[in-house]
Structure 1
Amino acid sequence: MKLRTAVAGMVGCLAGLSALNRRLRKVGEPARLAGGEERRYNWRGWRLAYQVAGEVGAPPVLLVHGSYAGASSYEFRKNFRELSEDFRVYALDLLGCGLSERPRRSYGPEDVAAQVEDFAREEIGSQAHLVASSLSAALVVPAAVRNPRLFKKLVLICPTGLGSLDRSSGALGDAIHGFFRTPVLGDALYNALVSRRGLRYFLGGMSYHDQKFVTQDLVEDYYRTSHQPGAKHFPAAFVSGKLNLGLSDLWPRVPHKTLIAWGQEARTTPVSQASRFARLNPRAEMRIFRNAALLPHDERAETFNQEAKKFFLKGTRRAGT
């Protein structure tokens, strides 16, 4: 009798969780960048969303957002339009993120590198400047090493790979990833992580230094993006360490001039790690942004945009105009 009651209680609990998970998925569409043309790119059978702005024929810039729960090109909302004044700017939503398709599949470091590589070759079609953020800044490095002619200069924002998120996750990562992929309990765990409270903690405790940036509107933007159908699969790979990539061998082989942009107050990838990037590749130069954490391109957007433009234009005829 007790066993029957326990089983009935467990079934009822799972049914309740399943109903709650379905209800949490009923949200609006993810936030979009303003001022660009929305397009789709077919990548190996999946549709990737991107926005493009700026004069046709201007030097191209590709923006690649970070890899985390709720990630999308909306991360560059303070840079997209401003950079498009001087460049042809492409802001890509990676597979599993934003407005792109979000298939149930295993994601690994090579997925990000291959998307960036193929998009630059097939959709942009000419040598592009590349801007990438946090973990994605490490994940684009293999593309730059394999096909250096696709890219002109790089801007890497608080990159991982030399001191953080640089080791395989092993058996523990496999277990965490497997649990996240379960239909009911995995959904419940994911929904707890991307609850409004969870997102506010992540944004305020890790992403931003100045709490004035962590507004209710920002939390809602991330909440909508992270509660789209299939949105858990990409961040499940991040949380379980499946996207980790060490750069100790790859980074010294990057042949491009690179600007390493770092928030002085970054905690998950502290600024103390920046010196290794400068030491291991003489083509890299550093910019440290005070009063900013993981997202200096947001917290110090005006300064970041100026520095990025100056870096891209350095050595060109337009540099002195």
Structure 2
Amino acid sequence: MLGTMHIINRVFSYIATADDYLNKDSYKYYNWRFGKIAYKKKGNGSPILLVHNFNVCSSSDEWKNIEGELSKTNTVYSIDLLGCGCSDHPALTYTNFLYVQLITDFIKHVIGEKTDIIVSGDSSSFVLMASANDETIINRITMINPQNLISLAKVPTKRTKLIKHLLFTPVIGTFIYNMKINKRTISQDFKSSYYYDQNAVSEKDILTCFESSHKDRGRSKYLYACQKSRYTNANILFCLSKLNNSIFIIIGNGNPENTLSASQYQNQLPSIEIVGIDNTKQLPHVEKPDEFIEQIRILFSDEE
């Protein structure tokens, strides 16, 4: 039985990564203390750091529709978070603070100056906490559909710790991960959550996410296990009260839950400005890049 699972796991990994959509040779690499971090750098001007959604299927490829336009006026850095895309996928317990440290160290050691940040989805808490911990590294912040504050504050339980232990096992854990994260489930997510217009979903985007989630023979399962076990969660209410940054939220108006989540942040920090993009859901910067860029130009205009 285990032998069969092992063979299926190997075949699964080969199929997912055979086409090399991510093209790992096109990246630069930052040698961080917990592993190599893949990133791209384009353009000239004041820096903007792009941080993709916190999901094993995500990578800096998420920014492909907007990074070229932004790089006409700015130095644009797009990063693959640890455990995602072409970055390393170490077998460790991934926590919220691990990514706070990654963002802090990347800005200090690679960018080398205070930067604006555009951050997608569940990665938003890392950026907010990094800014609260060190006010010298981050200037303006635009969050795209940030995570609900209530779900973000949930802590690990005995049950979720058991899930982590099971997924960390060599063969069975990898097999379970492959059953949970595959081309079919990724396609379902695109059509139900990511995109407003299901007809706009491209096969290449699905396959790129499939590849990203199965790099290094499915070692993204370690990150997936820690997410499912809530080790990457954090209650960020205290850090919100410490922030003095200009903070904006761009939401996809096609999902009412995005509006509810954004309003939670604005209730805690009334200075936050919320902008909606019609006919989009979780990925307005992918689905409506021109409208997204227009909003970023307005929000990041030098009004100071």
Scaled to the shorter chain, the TM-score interval is over 0.9
SS at 1:140 equivalent: helix
Gapped regions of structure 1 (runs ≥ 5): 1-12, 317-321
Q: Give the TM-score, by structure 2 length.
A: 0.93
- Do 1:33 and 1:80's aligned partners in 2 also have CA atoms closer than 8 Å? no
SS at 1:154 equivalent: strand
For 1:280 and 1:164, how far apart are their aligned partners in 2?
A: 16
- Do 2:251 and 2:262's aligned partners in 1 also have CA atoms closer than 8 Å? yes
- Do 2:5 and 2:175's aligned partners in 1 also have CA atoms closer than 8 Å? yes
Q: Partner residue of 2:275? A: 287
Q: Map of 1:164-203 to 2, 5 A cutoff?
A: 164-203=151-190
> Which of structures 1 and 2 has the bigger CA Rg?
1
1:147 aligns with 2:134: yes
For 1:45 and 1:164, how far apart are their aligned partners in 2?
A: 27
- Do 1:51 and 1:90's aligned partners in 2 also have CA atoms closer than 8 Å? yes
For residue 22 of structure 1, the aligned residue among 10, 13, 20 is 10
How far does the alpha carbon of each residue in 1:152-210 deviate from its partner, in whole angstroms, 9 at most, with x for none? Answer: 10001111152333211321211111111111111111101122111111222222221
Q: Partner residue of 1:127? A: 114
Note the C-alpha offset of 1:75. 0.9
For 2:97 and 2:184, how far apart are their aligned partners in 1?
A: 32
Note the C-alpha offset of 1:221. 0.9
* Larger CA deviation: 113-122 vs 153-162: 153-162
CA RMSD of aligned residues (A): 1.9
Q: Partner residue of 1:306? A: 294
Note the C-alpha offset of 1:246. 2.2
How far does the alpha carbon of each residue in 1:118-143 deviate from its partner, in whole angstroms, 9 at most, with x for none? Answer: 11111111110011111101122110
Note the C-alpha offset of 1:301. 1.2
Q: Give the TM-score, by structure 1 length.
A: 0.88
For 1:305 and 1:272, how far apart are their aligned partners in 2?
A: 23
- Do 2:30 and 2:36's aligned partners in 1 also have CA atoms closer than 8 Å? yes
1:83 aligns with 2:70: yes
Q: Map of 1:224-263 to 2, 5 A cutoff?
A: 224-229=211-216, 230-263=219-252
For 1:82 and 1:30, how far apart are their aligned partners in 2?
A: 25
- Do 2:22 and 2:212's aligned partners in 1 also have CA atoms closer than 8 Å? no
* Larger CA deviation: 58-67 vs 257-266: 257-266
- Do 1:62 and 1:91's aligned partners in 2 also have CA atoms closer than 8 Å? yes
Q: Map of 1:150-165 to 2, 5 A cutoff?
A: 150-165=137-152
How far does the alpha carbon of each residue in 1:236-287 deviate from its partner, in whole angstroms, 9 at most, with x for none? Answer: 22222221222222212211001111111237x5321221211211331111
Instruction: Identify if the C-alpha distance between structure 1 residues 208 and 166 changes in structure 2 by more than 3 Å, giving closer, same or farther.
Output: farther
Q: Partner residue of 2:205? A: 218
- Do 1:67 and 1:134's aligned partners in 2 also have CA atoms closer than 8 Å? yes
Q: Partner residue of 2:92? A: 105
Q: Partner residue of 1:278? A: 266
Instruction: Identify if the C-alpha distance between structure 1 residues 239 and 214 changes in structure 2 by more than 3 Å, giving closer, same or farther.
Output: farther
Instruction: Identify if the C-alpha distance between structure 1 residues 33 and 129 changes in structure 2 by more than 3 Å, giving closer, same or farther.
Output: farther
- Do 1:67 and 1:135's aligned partners in 2 also have CA atoms closer than 8 Å? yes
State the percentage of identical aligned residues: 25
* Larger CA deviation: 191-200 vs 235-244: 235-244
Note the C-alpha offset of 1:31. 3.3
Q: Which amino acid aligns with 2:276?
A: I
SS at 1:62 equivalent: strand
How far does the alpha carbon of each residue in 1:191-236 deviate from its partner, in whole angstroms, 9 at most, with x for none? Answer: 0112211111122222222112322221111111111112222222
Q: Partner residue of 1:3? A: none
Instruction: Identify if the C-alpha distance between structure 1 residues 203 and 236 changes in structure 2 by more than 3 Å, giving closer, same or farther.
Output: farther
For 2:235 and 2:104, how far apart are their aligned partners in 1?
A: 19
- Do 2:103 and 2:126's aligned partners in 1 also have CA atoms closer than 8 Å? no
For 1:160 and 1:309, how far apart are their aligned partners in 2?
A: 24
For 2:21 and 2:224, how far apart are their aligned partners in 1?
A: 18
For 2:188 and 2:223, how far apart are their aligned partners in 1?
A: 20
